Amino acid sequence: MATAHPGNEPNPGMIFETLLAFQRTAALRAAIELDVFRAIGEGPGDVASLAKHCSASERGIRILCDYLTVIGLLTKEGERYHHTATSGLFLDPRSPACVASISRFLGNPAMTEPVQHLADIVRTGHTTLHGQGSVEPENPVWVDFAHSMAPMMAPMTAPLGQIVLEGLAGPVRVLDIAAGHGLFGIEVAKQHPQAHIVAVDWAPVLEVAKANAHKAGVGARYHALPGSAFDVDFGEAYDIVLLTNFLHHFDHAACVGLLRKVHAALKPGGRAAALEFVPNEDRVSPPMPAMFSMSMLTTTASGDAYTFRELEAMYREAGFGRITAHPVRTGPHTVVMGIAG
Amino acid sequence: MATAHPGNEPNPGMIFETLLAFQRTAALRAAIELDVFRAIGEGPGDVASLAKHCSASERGIRILCDYLTVIGLLTKEGERYHHTATSGLFLDPRSPACVASISRFLGNPAMTEPVQHLADIVRTGHTTLHGQGSVEPENPVWVDFAHSMAPMMAPMTAPLGQIVLEGLAGPVRVLDIAAGHGLFGIEVAKQHPQAHIVAVDWAPVLEVAKANAHKAGVGARYHALPGSAFDVDFGEAYDIVLLTNFLHHFDHAACVGLLRKVHAALKPGGRAAALEFVPNEDRVSPPMPAMFSMSMLTTTASGDAYTFRELEAMYREAGFGRITAHPVRTGPHTVVMGIAG
């Protein structure tokens, strides 16, 4: 029959579990919404007290918490549920590292609805969303992104700041394109007291970034430049341009066009740094960057998770040299940096 | 912060991946719908030929097949995709063991839609579906089940037949409750030439079972008894009653009531055999039976994946003795059998 490729034993359970994997997403989203992870952290963790804390039924809580235990997001001892290392640090709202808010952005209908039409999307090759999809002008989803994805990105800001600032002294002008929550530019301002940040994004998104800059004490060196990165006048003589989580929304030609514009805004020797999910050249590893292209297929017209070789080619076509990759140890992302020739 | 339980390292990627796990389901469903697995089996497996076979875009096919590779349902060598042992045997329509049709039942809106309201379901403790949920009288979902889930159940029919027939000789009367596709009763008829099967289910479902019985050459010993298992008159003096994938839809009291009715229909010493997802007493292992309770939470008013101890208690209350568990090696199910006292 069908030529089986050498590998593991055939496993029909894997098919069953994949066809029900949508329950995993639903279980985690429901647990976050019901405040289960705070209740677990506060203890004692039995079904009756959890149900009370969450204003929920005991049957529902028991089945939900058993399910979360099976998928590795809780543990169970006797009749009591406890945090795993992951849920305690990243899902309990009492933890400063809590990333539960990302459930809101990743569960936003603009992100999830197109996936329901995946066969159609594979047929046509682009999102069922209107026009450019999630990157249509002024899409309100990015205000949500700015609010809810910040905790996921926070651990990556310090490494990015160190990479882009390495060896720089004196006044530094930084352009932060598609600033979103603003955390990357803000971190550069925190690491370098003579850095001034110009942040580009849609005006309502920049309100979030400005508020974060003021909270971080760098508001005086933080300047908003509202508009589309493709249309707005960047100004010039920047030392650093940040392009965080941005290029993956567009095709090769659009990325090259934008990188040319970035190149023109940099001083000679200036640095353009993209933070991206960068899969290996095989495009199927490591898992997180490789799987990210599915999000780009479903929500954009022509975006992708680009390999280093593809990003390098874009930079080169736009006039950059000395293009290097810097994997970020604190997250699944890679910084790809080019120097303006 | 929150007391972390001893365990693995904290892993925020796990949260990200769980919140996007619904993409796994969508990817497999889309690949089945687009006939990707047949195209992979026929080769050569490059993006251009796959896209042509599936009448789809190359961008869409590449991203879909890369994604299926990451989640272990394809392999990739250079620019070509190949079957894994699992996809070749269970997803290629050219394979007699193909189970791809289960995508239809597991993706049926009656099964998937309630999961979108999981937080509400956990609050109230029962499905958002009307009344008894998926087991409301004459729910057309069971015709779909009968057609599409048969390949998943097929490997378990032979072991079930052996278990229930062990040591029996001469004429055997078998009642197959909630027969569905009918495969279990049909297999008993095939294994035992003097077995006569009476199959209970909704009339339109029994049409599927009768057709399967005729195809299997046992039509003359196959008798349809349409109606609800709770209301229909079973008749009496059965040697064996099969209750496959049925008890989990109902609460303890309803199960005991039904088992009493089953007991009354059996000869003294007759056998009642339930095929069930039976989790360990901890309710969180093994994964497949333990996770099955989530499907019962979302689609029924009060069903569950019952442990052996719970099933044993039901049997005992209904008058059965010598209650034994027989794990089925060819699937995730267990046969729980009781002898009429």
Query: In this predicted model, what pLDDT tens digit does every residue of B267-290 receive, in sequence order?
Result: 999 999 999 999 999 999 999 999
Please tell me which of the candidates A96, A102, A297 has its beta carbon nearest to residue B1: A96
pLDDT at residue B5, rounded to an integer:
39
Please tell me which of the candidates B10, B24, B332 has its beta carbon nearest to residue A18: B24
CB B74 within 8 A of CB B68: yes
Structure tokens at A199: 């942040």
pLDDT at residue A5, rounded to an integer:
39
Q: Are the Cβ atoms of A12 and B115 closer than 8 angstroms?
A: no
pLDDT at residue B120, rounded to an integer:
96
B23, B124, B330: best to mutate for the A interface, most A CBs within 10 A: B23
Q: Is the pLDDT of residue B3 over 70?
A: no
A3, A9, A18: best to mutate for the B interface, most B CBs within 10 A: A18
Amino acid type, A248: H
pLDDT at residue B341, rounded to an integer:
86
Chain mean pLDDT for chain B: 94
pLDDT at residue B137, rounded to an integer:
73
Q: Are the Cβ atoms of A1 and B88 closer than 8 angstroms?
A: yes
Question: Please, what's the b/e burial string for B138-147 (b: 16 or more CB within 10 A of its CB; e: otherwise)?
Answer: ebebbbbbbb
* Mean pLDDT along residues A261-285: 98
For the segment A52-91, what is each residue's pLDDT rounded down to a tens digit?
Answer: 999 999 999 999 999 999 999 999 999 999 999 999 999 9
CA distance B117 to A202: 32
pLDDT at residue A8, rounded to an integer:
67
Q: Are the Cβ atoms of B118 and A11 closer than 8 angstroms?
A: no
CA distance A289 to A277: 5
Alpha-carbon distance B125 to nearest alpha carbon in chain A (angstroms)? 5
Q: Is the pLDDT of residue B235 over 70?
A: yes
pLDDT at residue A1, rounded to an integer:
32
Alpha-carbon distance B286 to nearest alpha carbon in chain A (angstroms)? 8
Number of Cβ pairs closer than 8 Å across A and B? 339
Read off φ and ψ for residue B191, nearest 5 degrees. -75, -25
CA distance B153 to A124: 35
pLDDT at residue A134, rounded to an integer:
78
Pairing of strands A80-83, A172-177: unpaired
* Mean pLDDT along residues A2-10: 53
DSSP string, A129-169: SSTTBTTSTT-THHHHHHHHSHHHHHHHHHHHHHHHHTT--
* Mean pLDDT along residues A85-103: 96
pLDDT at residue B8, rounded to an integer:
67
DSSP string, B46-105: BHHHHHHHTT--HHHHHHHHHHHHHTTSEEEETTEEEE-HHHHHHT-TTSTT--TTHHHH
Q: Are the Cβ atoms of A22 and B56 closer than 8 angstroms?
A: no
Sorting pLDDT into bands at 50, 70 and 90, what band is A100? very high
Q: Are the Cβ atoms of B8 and A41 closer than 8 angstroms?
A: no
Nearest CA in chain B to A69: B284
Q: Are the Cβ atoms of B34 and A123 closer than 8 angstroms?
A: yes
- B72 in the Ramachandran plot: left (φ > 0), alpha (ψ -120 to 50) or beta? left
Q: Cα A121–A313–A277 angle (5° rounding)?
A: 50
Label residue A8 exposed, middle or buried (CB < 10 Å: 0-12, 13-18, 19+).
Answer: exposed
CA distance A231 to A155: 31
Please tell me which of the candidates A19, A23, A123 has its beta carbon nearest to residue B56: A123
B108, B115, B291: best to mutate for the A interface, most A CBs within 10 A: B291
Please report, to the nearest 10 degrees, the dihedral formed by the alpha carbons of residues B32, B66, A250, A112 taken in order: 50
Chain mean pLDDT for chain A: 94
Q: Mean pLDDT check: name the lowest of A247-256, B59-68, B108-117.
A: B108-117
Higher pLDDT residue, B332 or A130? B332
For the segment B30-77, what is each residue's pLDDT rounded down to a tens digit?
Answer: 999 999 999 999 999 999 999 999 999 999 999 999 999 999 999 999
Task: Tell me what percent of chain A is helix, strand and coil, each rounded to the nearest 5.
Answer: 50, 20, 35
Q: Are the Cβ atoms of B11 and A86 closer than 8 angstroms?
A: yes
pLDDT at residue B2, rounded to an integer:
36
Q: Mean pLDDT check: name the lowest of A2-11, A267-276, A285-294, B140-149.
A: A2-11
What is the percent of chain B where pLDDT is above 90?
Answer: 86
Closest C-alpha among B221, B298, B268, B250 to residue A22? B298
Q: Is the pLDDT of residue A6 over 80?
A: no
* Mean pLDDT along residues B281-308: 96
Taking each continuous run of H as one helix and of E as one strand, the counts in chain A are 16, 9
